[in-house]
Amino acid sequence: MLAYAAFFFAVFVAAVAVFLQVQNQELSRSENAYAQEVAYGFADNIHTAFVAGPGFVESVSLPKDILGKRYLLFVSRSPDASAQETGLIYVSWESAGNNASFSAPTVTASYKYTGGSDMVTSPTGSNYIIIDPSKGSLLNISNEGGGIMIKMGSP
C-alpha cells in the first residue's frame, strides 16, 4: 500500500513541477509581449511628434507597470540634431530575478526633457533619457523646432 502511495505521490510532484515550469514560461512570454507593446507604442508617439512638425503637442499615458513589475524606458538621443540614424527605445524590467529588456526602433532626434521631476531624467553626459512610469503615468511629447521635448504631464 505504501509503495502505491509513494508512486502516485511521485507522479503528482512531477506533474506539479511540469505545470509550474509551463506557467513560468507563459508569464515570461506575456511580460515580453506587453513590453513590446509599450516600446512600439511609445516609438509611434515619438514618430508622430517628429513627422507632425513644430508646434505639435500630445499627451501620452503609460502603464505604471508590466504585469505588476516596475519598468523603465530608455530613449536614446543624438547629441547632433542633424544625425539621421535610427534611435532606440529600451524597456527594461526585472523578471524572475533577472533583468529583461526589449527595444524598438524610433527616430533619432535632439530629444530634450524638462527636469524637476523624478519621472523624466537623464544622467549627466549621457545620450539617453530615462522615463520611470511608476512615478507618474502621463507624459507630454511636443515638437519644438524639430527637437522632441519630453516632460511629465499633469492630469
Q: How confident is the model at residue 113 (pLDDT cuts 50, 70, 90)?
A: confident
Q: How confident is the model at residue 118 (pLDDT cuts 50, 70, 90)?
A: confident
**Residue 41 neighbours by CB under 8 Å, 6+ apart:** none
What are the grid coordinates assigned to 124, written together?
549627466
- Residue 133's Cβ-count burial label (10 Å; 0-12, 13-18, 19+) is buried
**Percent of the chain, pLDDT > 70?**
92
Contact in structure between 73 and 41 (CB atoms under 8 Å): no
pTM summary value: 0.79
